[in-house]
Amino acid sequence: MLNEEPVGVAVLGLGNVGSEVVRIIEDSADDLAARIGAPLVLRGVGVRRVAADRGVPAELLTDNIEELVSRDDVDIVVELMGPVEPARKAILLALEHGKSVVTANKALLSRSTGELADAAERARVDLYFEAAVAGAIPVIRPLTQSLAGDTVRRVAGIVNGTTNYILSEMDSTGTDYASALADARALGYAEADPTADVEGFDAAAKAAILASIAFHTRVTADDVYREGISNITPDDVASARALGCTIKLLSICERITTAEGQQRVSARVYPALVPSSHPLATVNGAFNAVVVEAEAAGRLMFYGQGAGGAPTASAVTGDLVMAARNRVQGSRGPRESKYAQLPIAPIGDIVTRYYVSMDVADKPGVLSTVAAEFAQHEVSIAEVRQEGVADEDGRRVGARVVVVTHRAPEAALSETVAALADLDAVQRVASVLRLEGTGQ
């Protein structure tokens, strides 16, 4: 039986996602009401510019965001404006007026989760953000609810479709980074300015959100170590393939234990070699996937479309239904869990395997000199490959050495690379990448 009192909704932003959310609210009104227990009524849509051709009745449009989120007939505010401002101001105002909030604003959440969570707690309302990470893929709710009784050890995945498309193209066609990026732009996967995606900022924001939830610790984007993919070359891709791997931009969040027994949180984003046998190696194109490893549940994988208007709107609407249902029932959803407050581990504490590619002098004794430098810094070598480098006329002009290490601390590897660069036999260290998912 439906509650006669409707739940009023204000949507801020009418881009691809906002337009789709408005459409779902209107086209699925009966189904949504049945799931919620009360009618869901769109009270208004906040936009930067009011125009008659926005696909929404003119009387619902307003550019007065403050007035809209403060209205008495609005119970839930759906923020889909981006960027950080004016979204932050609008969300805080909505929370102060006792409105529950649904947002997909990863950049804001990765910097101001604590501020927003505290405001929601003071007002005793909900703050939902499933769509902020991996679009339609349910990741946030499983971490906050399904695994609430478990201990999460590691969350790793591909959470940026633009970079995954570029790297997939480089792997499948042998093209270079610039050409793959141009293709991504032509298909609408990359923005005119792709910096946020290709330099890892977008993935780092999502890593901060995932780490905060998984490890009950406030982690911000500034806590996340970040590298992008713009320096990946066809040679790196070919070498990875020769090693039975592919290159993916990974967001990795994990609970680590120091030699002294202290637990810390690591959150990092970088391109890494992933074995072809690993589930993430088969995630291609603009798709996303997240692998969660927990003590009792073991390994869980979530896969699907990580961006786009309809997929993201699906996650937003799911949050909207949850928030509306809580309003009708007089309850609240999960609140921020920050009891652990674990320290953030610096990147130098991380232990993993490495791929180091260097251009060297084509003469005897170079390999032994290089190997000695690794040994000096206690970085064990697992595999070495050497190949000739030819000019455009096919004449051999040098050599390339690729070293794959066993597991070693990041700090030791960094010292090794710095020492290699100073060797007369090494012309340049061309690439340093990690290997993840090898279990060795």
Residues tagged in the binding site annotation for L-homoserine: 191
| Phi (first) and psi of residue 242, to 5 degrees | -65, -25
d(CA 204, CA 223): 9
Residue 226's CB is within 10 A of a number of other CB atoms, namely 19
Bridge partner residues of 271 (DSSP): 249
Contact 381/374 with Cβ under 8 angstroms?
A: yes
Q: Which of 274, 216, 215 is nearest to 250 (CA)?
A: 274
Per DSSP, the three-state class of 14 is: coil
Q: Which of 32, 7, 22 is nearest to 318 (CA)?
A: 32
Per the listing, tokens 């609240």 go with 332
d(CA 417, CA 413): 6
CB within 8 Å of 408: residues ≥ 6 apart: 351, 352, 353, 354, 378, 379, 380
Q: Is 89 an annotated catalytic residue?
A: no
- Bind-site residues: 12-19, 106, 191
Inter-helix orientation angle 309-329/29-36, to 10°:
40
Q: Which of 72, 76, 71, 66 is nearest to 11 (CA)?
A: 76
Per the listing, tokens 């970088």 go with 270
Query: How does DSSP classify residue 4?
Result: S
Beta strand pairing call for 127-128 and 100-103: parallel
Q: Which of 347, 337, 323 is nearest to 113 (CA)?
A: 337
Where helices occur in 145-263 by DSSP H, the ranges are: 161-173, 177-186, 195-198, 201-214, 234-242
Contact 349/409 with Cβ under 8 angstroms?
A: yes
Q: What is the DSSP string of 66-125?
A: HHHHH-TT--EEEE---SHHHHHHHHHHHHHTT-EEEE--HHHHHHHHHHHHHHHHHHT-
Beta strand pairing call for 40-46 and 61-62: parallel
Per DSSP, the three-state class of 149 is: coil
Q: Would you name the residues annotated as active-site residues?
A: 206
